[in-house]
Each structure stands twice: as structure tokens, then as C-alpha cells.
Chain A
């Protein structure tokens, strides 16, 4: 065991865990976060997605010792108590069915749009493609990404 320091959703934690432990289990079982969930353990489905300095990564395979910078989970996405526009769009479009994969869908969409809010339909499809959904809610997810993009563009225009 070795002490590991993590910054998650703005809070710093010092933990005494095996440094090889995948980040997912530390987030879930030590920090009590529910956003990232186990789907495959193989970085194939995206259910465990978290943001590392704003980039989506697969927490199921990343050893906790190799995390760098700021980790953001679904719980940490809202700012100033207000849902991220992507989260709001997910509610407005009533996207989820079971909802188990939506953590990865929302965080990936947020990272995509934070990087470039003017995505074409094809760019949305390609950007979201790695995140699997077995209720097959892709149709509404893509609508929600477009809705969020429009909302973010509106916010930009207001500034």
C-alpha cells in the first residue's frame, strides 16, 4: 500500500490503496461516488467514464497511481449548483431508459461540446460512438447533444 492523492470534483483526497487499483473502484468504493459504473473492465463500453482535466477517460483500467490533474465525475459536472447544459438537455429530451450507461454518454458529450460546441451531426456520431448503450437510446442522446450545443451557443452569445 502507498498513499495516493486524488483531486475529485474539486476536493483532494489522500488514500491508502494499492497503486495498481483501477480508479473506478476507488471512486466508487472509497469515495462513495455513483456516477461511474462498471460495464466491461476493458475500456470498451464507456460506462465508467470520468473526465481527467476535461478529457474523457476509462476509469475501469486506469491505475489510480497514474491519474493526473483534476478528476470530474458526473456528480461534479454541475457548476454553481446549476446542471451542465448537457445534463439539462438529457432531462429536457427525456433521454435515459434504464440510464446505466448515461454517465459515460453525458460526460463524453460534455467534453465534446466544451471542446467544440459547433459539431456537425457526423461529428456528434463519431464523437459519441465509443460509448455503448444497451437500451439503445442513441437517437435521443444525439438529439440531446444538439439541444445542449444550441443552449451553449446561446449562452456564449449572451456574454
Chain B
């Protein structure tokens, strides 16, 4: 049988980055050859063939330069980074930043990301901080390597460092440029043996300073992503592609009802099937393992299993969810975690307001629904456990699986490889735990992959919200008081790869000491409101564990939900004040003179103004005069910040009066994320954020009855398609810093902020077009049509 590959792990890792590089080339060009006896070297040298290569796998030391950066004999460099790239090109951007500091050409370096045996523990992905935090450490490390190389050259030539020049990995004498030495000649194939300092990994660095922004050459260029050619010609190796000798295939059998108890498994129903190997059962967890993949699928479908429904309904039906959230008693307030934030005296200010506006907003559970379902391969060879996975946090995946299996962490390693998006779904990748458990049971490499119905029903969900807002305007239309009351269905957040909260653990009956409610703040806006209260309370659904409505992080966790309510409400207030929505926002932003240390107020004003200018915004109150034709058009704005990035989005919509269908033909996004590393990569990331936002606004909703999730595939859980994509997107990159040329300008995250204002911008545009305010997501045609008809539009 062809197609079976028996390469070492290092070859597999390499194949991803270099396509054709052989192991020999890798050793020659990266200097790993000399690492044979070191801790990292043992793990790097290969896998499975010799005892030294078979583990254990101690953590690379983040206070050693050699753990981060290796120069090969040919002068090329390999950067070892403990982040993961979710498809936004953070690997390419990191390489640009580190090459810039090292003074090395971009194509002379490679990046290895997210392998617990090879890369330092930077926590993997999360919070869109791969560049802002992860690569900033990389810059300092690369700068330190450059400093050390210059000192070595200084010694070699007998001249002070000040009399040396460096360009693309070649150091020369300023006085005699014909005398040169390369990085490869200075250190290639040898260790730096330079200790770093830093209280934690995010502070790691050496003596050298990073360059002023003005001296960076690769940063700011739209260098093409290194991973794209292999993704386009079919040679890229994903986590789904890893194929080990002796590997077998597993599929899960899920409870047909949430909270069901397994009462019987008739193994004879599958024993005669071709390739059948095992049924594995523990508590309510059931899986089948077969020789071939299609055999495992058939066996999982065929296995006769009996379940008992729970005595009480696990949750209200999705149509009754918001009534439930508003009427149920919220959970107590442990440790003040959910204490309200109060400024001034909002109750008195509301009582004294000339106009009070009230509105209630609803956002359903929304899933990740990745294009490919969860998957992982676990290899138990040599008494170790190696997991090939797209878990975005390989380090917590490793410790979580070690705890789950009762293995020492150094005997477990996680090799991150790319997969279908991440966006928080793979911060607690269930399939890796399942594959590892089954591999331990069978003593063979086991590949687990979920089916579509399983992924769509059982992936982690962004929590549902019910949000009530009250605002008070004075006689001049100024906002004087705001009261935000949120209810969030996020009582037991799964966290990050926790051994007691991943799905297999829950189904086996394991429980955390106490449920961990997901945090949720109030609206993220720099508006000046003299009297304000923001309060969010968690509401518990009847079934807390073993539920398909388990909550986890979904891109900008809670942000789109909260901002949908908050920024829709700002438009409602603007309408009540008969003010233009842009002008009203600018008034709120300019209401205070002071700013914070990263100038978020100035940078918020800058993005709102830039978006309005790029769109060609004509100042007038919303709604527009409603047209007489079938297609009603309007525009809406929303603004937010996330962490240190500010963003304003304008959506233009067409609403079909007869069908209720909403389209978004044009979007404008003004975006300030500080220093831009790769403009084209940033634009692609923002475009994805915007379209993901349109999809969540118009289509996405987890549907369920009182027994189970009923949205289980692409028909019952629709997503945005080609037909509904905008025809025009304008991305305006803004630098609203008071000193935009500051030499220490930092990059801020861009993976999530522009997602946040999209639902409100679209809902505001629908209101502008129709005069109808949509306060419940998603804006599916039947819901919009019902509101239009109710309003007589």
C-alpha cells in the first residue's frame, strides 16, 4: 500500500516549513547536530528510534538564548517560538520581526512553533497576543543574538563593535568592507551559551536593546506568508495528515440526549464488522476503535447503545432561553467577581434625566463550527505519549493530558500542527485527550476524529447573553447616565485543557472542585458618561456538566455579544437625541479631557473619524427616510476597543422588504493596532474578522429543544457563504497615537478587535434602512421580516 510514510517527527515538522528539506539538510542548516547531548537536542534529534530520542521531554529553558534561536553552519537561523499560528500569519510576522533585529534576510530563517519538546512555553495562542507579546520577546532575543555575534566579530577582528557593520548575516569592518565574517562562521553549529534574564517568559531578554521602529526594514513590509504555497499545492502537512505505522482509527459515540446516562452497550452488534478492534467505555464515554477510518465510522454508527434520559430537562428550548436568563435567579457573587462597576450616581441621574431610553438585547449561544471537526493522533510508543494536534495551547494540552492519564508531564509531549482555524475552540481540544486515553488503552497509535454532527452539537460555545440597558439624556441630548445589566449563560467555562473539564472527563464523571464561571465585563468603549453602572451576572442552566451547551472562548469572548447591545444602544440614544451616530459618538469620546497611558481615547476618536471619512459618511440622524423600493439601504457604525487596539466599523446593508433578507455589500473598518508588521497580513486578518462577524450577525445560532442541540450540520447551522460576502471592503490602518512616529511604538493584537463591533454596525445599518431596531441575533430573514411587518414597513 502506498502513501504510508515512516519519517521521523522532525522530518514531519520540517516538511511543514520547508516542503522539501530533508532531515540531513535541517541538521546541516540549523546547527541542531551539536545538540545531541543537550536536553532540547535529545528531543530534537528524532523520535522513537533510540532511547535518547524517545523521551522524556523536559521543557526548554526560556532563560537560555539557545532555546529560542539557532544559527546553522550556513548562516541560516531557526527561531523556536511557543506560540501557534491560527492562520493569521503570525509565524511570518514573527519571522519578520526577529530577522529585522538579527539583521538577517527573511528567507534565511525558519520558524518552529508550538512543540512542547522544542519550543519554550509561551502558552500558545490566546488573546491575539502572538505579536504583541510573543514576538516582542522574540525581538529581544534576536537583538541579543545580534549583540553577541557582533562581540564575537569584534574579538576576531580586534576592533571595537562600533567599528563594525552588519547586513543580512554578514559582519564587516566599517573601515575595510572587504574584511567580513558571517554569522555561520562565527557560531554556526555551536551554542551561544548565553543566559537571559527575566522574571517570567514574557520578560525574557538579554542586554541588547531592540531597534527603534525607524530602523526596522522587514517590519512594515507585506512579505508573502511562508505557509501559503504548500497550502495551495497540496503538500502542506496538517495535524489531520499524520500517519504512523500501526496507527488505528477511533470514533466517539455521543449521548443522544444531553445529560443521558449510559445503561448498556451491546458489543456483539459490532464484533463482526471488518477491522473492528475495541469498544472502550468509561462512565458515559464510549468510543470504538477499528483498523481503518471508514470502519470506525461504521462501527460507531452501528454500535447498539442504550441511554436513559435525565429526570429533568437539561435546558430550556432555544426559543425560551432569554426568558429563562432574565427570570432565573442569578448565581451568588463569589468573591465579588461579579460586583457591579459604578461611577457617580446612576439612579439619581436617570431619575433626573430629560429623556430615558430602555432596551433589551438577546444574543444566543453561538458555536465555533470549525470547517474540520476535532482531531488528534496519540502515540504511546516507548512508554511516552506524543500527541499530534492543532490545540492552540500545546503546553496546557500537555499538562492536562499528563494529569488526565496520570503520567509525568515530561513523558508527554504535544506537537502542534496546523488545523481548521482555532478562535478558542482548540484551547481545550477534546480530541487530544480522547486519542491519548485510547492510545494508552490500546497500546497503539490512535487517531481520533469527530464527525460533523458531533462537532457542531458538542463543540464549545460562546455564551448566550440577555442584556438590559437604560440611558438618560439631558435636555441638550447629552448622555448623562447609563445602566448596563447583563445576564450570561456561562456558569461552567471549560477553561484551557483542564483534565476535569474537557468533554471526555465530564462524560467519565470527573468534575472540577467547583464550576468556573467565565468572566464578562461591560462594554469596552472610551465614552465619557458621568453616571454609570455596569453589572453582569452568571445564570446557571439546569444541566451544568456533560452538556453540549458547555461554554468556552469564542473569538473575542463575549465582546461581540456585549458590543452588539452597547453599540446598538448608543445608536438608540443618538436617535432619541436626534443626533448623527458618528457625531454622537465623537461627543461621548471627547467628553473627557484625560486619556490613558496608551492613548485609547485619542486613538478611538481617530478610528471613528477615519471610518466616517473613508465611507463618505453624510451626517444626519438615523433612520434615513425609508425608501419605497423592495431593497432598503442604510449604513451603521459601531466602535470598540479590545485590549490596546481600537476599531470602528461601518456596514452598509440592503434589506429585502419582501423576504427580510439582509445583505452587507460594503464594509469599512478603521483599525489602530499600533505598529503594523505585515500590512497585507493585517488586512487579510481584518477581512476575516469582518466576515466572521457578518456570519454571526446574520446566520449563526445554536438551536436546541429541551433534550438536545438540534443544529448539527451546515443545513441546520448555516454560515455565511460566497453569495453573501461583501463586494467591497475598505480597511483603513490608522495610527492615532499622539506621537505616531515614536521609536518605541508597539504592535497590538489584531486577531479579534475588528470582529467585535460588526453585529452592532449591521443592526444599526438595518435600523437606518428600515427604521426597525433588531435587538436579537442573528438577523435571519424570518425574524427580520416579522419585525418589518410588525412595524408596517
Q: How far is the CA of A70 from the CA of B322 in the complex (A)?
A: 53
* B366 sits at the interface (CB 8 A): no
Q: How far is the CA of A157 from the CA of B469 in the complex (A)?
A: 62
Point out which of A45, A134, A137 has the most chain B C-beta atoms below 10 A from its C-beta: A134
* B451 sits at the interface (CB 8 A): yes
Return 18 A-B CB contacts under 8 Å, by A number: A21-B292, A28-B293, A29-B292, A30-B1, A35-B234, A37-B372, A39-B373, A39-B452, A44-B713, A91-B228, A91-B229, A96-B232, A99-B87, A126-B722, A134-B719, A136-B725, A138-B722, A139-B729
* B294 sits at the interface (CB 8 A): yes
* Chain B residues positioned under 8 Å from A83 (CB to CB): 232-233
By secondary structure, the B interface counts as loop
Pick the contact of A75: B235, B294, B721 (CB < 8 A): B235
* Chain B residues positioned under 8 Å from A33 (CB to CB): 3, 234
* Chain A residues positioned under 8 Å from B231 (CB to CB): 96, 99, 102
* A149 sits at the interface (CB 8 A): no
Q: How far is the CA of A40 from the CA of B274 in the complex (A)?
A: 23
Whether A29 pairs with B680 at a CB distance below 8 angstroms is no
By secondary structure, the A interface counts as loop
Q: Decide: A34 near B241, CB < 8 A? Known: A87-B232, A135-B688.
A: yes
With A28-B241, A99-B418 already in contact, 20 other A-B pairs whose C-beta atoms are closer than 8 Å = A29-B292, A32-B3, A32-B243, A45-B371, A90-B232, A94-B225, A97-B421, A97-B688, A100-B238, A102-B232, A125-B725, A130-B721, A131-B722, A134-B369, A135-B371, A135-B688, A137-B684, A137-B687, A139-B726, A141-B722
Whether A22 pairs with B452 at a CB distance below 8 angstroms is no
Q: Decide: A29 near B714, CB < 8 A? Known: A125-B722, A132-B721.
A: no
Q: How far is the CA of A116 from the CA of B257 in the complex (A)?
A: 49
Pick the contact of A134: B370, B685, B722 (CB < 8 A): B370
What's the nearest-Cβ distance from chain B to residue A55, in Å? 19
Q: Decide: A91 near B2, CB < 8 A? Known: A38-B240, A136-B688, A137-B687.
A: no
Q: How far is the CA of A100 from the CA of B452 in the complex (A)?
A: 15
Whether A73 pairs with B234 at a CB distance below 8 angstroms is yes
Q: Which 6 A-B pairs have the closest CB atoms?
A: A32-B3, A98-B87, A136-B691, A97-B87, A99-B231, A74-B234
Whether B713 pairs with A42 at a CB distance below 8 angstroms is yes
Q: Decide: A142 near B722, CB < 8 A? Known: A94-B224, A99-B236.
A: yes
- 8 A Cβ contacts from A1-52 to B: 13, 15, 18, 21-22, 25, 28-35, 37-42, 44-45, 47
* B715 sits at the interface (CB 8 A): yes
What's the nearest-Cβ distance from chain A to residue B778, in Å? 15
Pick the contact of B234: A75, A94, A126, A134 (CB < 8 A): A75
* Chain B residues positioned under 8 Å from A78 (CB to CB): 233
* Chain A residues positioned under 8 Å from B449 (CB to CB): 38
- 8 A Cβ contacts from B393-437 to A: 418-422
Whether B5 pairs with A129 at a CB distance below 8 angstroms is no
Whether B688 pairs with A29 at a CB distance below 8 angstroms is no
Q: How far is the CA of A37 from the CA of B723 in the complex (A)?
A: 23
Q: How far is the CA of A124 from the CA of B237 in the complex (A)?
A: 29
Pick the contact of A94: B2, B369, B451, B680 (CB < 8 A): B680
Q: How far is the CA of A94 from the CA of B93 in the complex (A)?
A: 14
* A140 sits at the interface (CB 8 A): yes
Pick the contact of B237: A21, A34, A102 (CB < 8 A): A34
What's the nearest-Cβ distance from chain B to residue A101, in Å? 5
What's the nearest-Cβ distance from chain B to residue A109, in Å? 11
| Interface band, chain A | 35 or more
Q: How far is the CA of A32 from the CA of B451 in the complex (A)?
A: 21
Residue of A nearest to B240 (CB): A37
* B695 sits at the interface (CB 8 A): yes
A residues near B (Cβ < 8 Å) are 13, 15, 18, 21-22, 25, 28-35, 37-42, 44-45, 47, 73-75, 77-78, 83, 87, 90-91, 94-103, 106, 121, 124-126, 128-142
Q: How far is the CA of A38 from the CA of B690 in the complex (A)?
A: 26
* Chain A residues positioned under 8 Å from B692 (CB to CB): 135-136
Q: How far is the CA of A80 from the CA of B237 in the complex (A)?
A: 23
Whether A98 pairs with B420 at a CB distance below 8 angstroms is yes
Whether B294 pairs with A22 at a CB distance below 8 angstroms is yes
* Chain A residues positioned under 8 Å from B371 (CB to CB): 39, 45, 47, 98, 100-101, 132-135
| Interface band, chain B | 35 or more
Q: How far is the CA of A74 from the CA of B86 in the complex (A)?
A: 22
Query: B726-764: contact bitstring with A at CB < 8 Å (1 yes, 0 no)?
Result: 110100000000000000000000000000000000000
Q: How far is the CA of A44 from the CA of B688 in the complex (A)?
A: 21
Query: B1-27: contact bitstring with A at CB < 8 Å (1 yes, 0 no)?
Result: 111110000000000000000000000
Whether B294 pairs with A18 at a CB distance below 8 angstroms is yes
* Chain B residues positioned under 8 Å from A98 (CB to CB): 86-87, 371, 418-422
* B510 sits at the interface (CB 8 A): no
What's the nearest-Cβ distance from chain A to residue B81, in Å? 18
What's the nearest-Cβ distance from chain B to residue A59, in Å? 12
Whether B688 pairs with A34 at a CB distance below 8 angstroms is no
* Chain A residues positioned under 8 Å from B723 (CB to CB): 125-126, 129
* B227 sits at the interface (CB 8 A): yes
Pick the contact of A91: B86, B224, B238, B370 (CB < 8 A): B224
* B631 sits at the interface (CB 8 A): no
Point out which of A90, A96, A140, A141 has the most chain B C-beta atoms below 10 A from its C-beta: A96
Q: Decide: A44 near B691, CB < 8 A? Known: A98-B420, A128-B722, A134-B369.
A: no
* B313 sits at the interface (CB 8 A): no
Whether A136 pairs with B3 at a CB distance below 8 angstroms is no
Whether B224 pairs with A137 at a CB distance below 8 angstroms is no
Q: Decide: A90 near B691, CB < 8 A? Known: A32-B3, A134-B370.
A: no
Whether B684 pairs with A94 at a CB distance below 8 angstroms is yes
Q: How far is the CA of A34 from the CA of B239 in the complex (A)?
A: 11
Q: How far is the CA of A128 from the CA of B681 in the complex (A)?
A: 23
Point out which of B227, B236, B719 has the most chain A C-beta atoms below 10 A from its C-beta: B236
Query: B214-252: contact bitstring with A at CB < 8 Å (1 yes, 0 no)?
Result: 000000000011011101111111101101000000000
Whether A139 pairs with B369 at a CB distance below 8 angstroms is no
* B624 sits at the interface (CB 8 A): no
* B88 sits at the interface (CB 8 A): yes
Whether A41 pairs with B292 at a CB distance below 8 angstroms is no
* Chain A residues positioned under 8 Å from B232 (CB to CB): 74, 83, 87, 90-91, 95-96, 99, 102, 106
What's the nearest-Cβ distance from chain B to residue A48, in Å? 10
What's the nearest-Cβ distance from chain B to residue A85, in Å? 12
* B544 sits at the interface (CB 8 A): no
Residue of B nearest to A34 (CB): B241
* Chain B residues positioned under 8 Å from A75 (CB to CB): 233-235
* Chain A residues positioned under 8 Å from B87 (CB to CB): 96-99, 135
Point out which of A95, A124, A130, A136 has the most chain B C-beta atoms below 10 A from its C-beta: A136
Whether A30 pairs with B3 at a CB distance below 8 angstroms is yes
* Chain B residues positioned under 8 Å from A126 (CB to CB): 722-723
What's the nearest-Cβ distance from chain A to residue B197, in Å? 36
Residue of B nearest to A90 (CB): B232
Q: How far is the CA of A96 from the CA of B235 in the complex (A)?
A: 15
Whether A31 pairs with B2 at a CB distance below 8 angstroms is yes
Pick the contact of B3: A29, A39, A137 (CB < 8 A): A29
What's the nearest-Cβ distance from chain A to residue B225, in Å? 6
Q: Decide: A134 near B715, CB < 8 A? Known: A34-B237, A87-B233, A99-B87.
A: no
Residue of B nearest to A74 (CB): B234
- 8 A Cβ contacts from B365-403 to A: 369-373
Q: How far is the CA of A42 from the CA of B237 in the complex (A)?
A: 24
Residue of A nearest to B227 (CB): A99
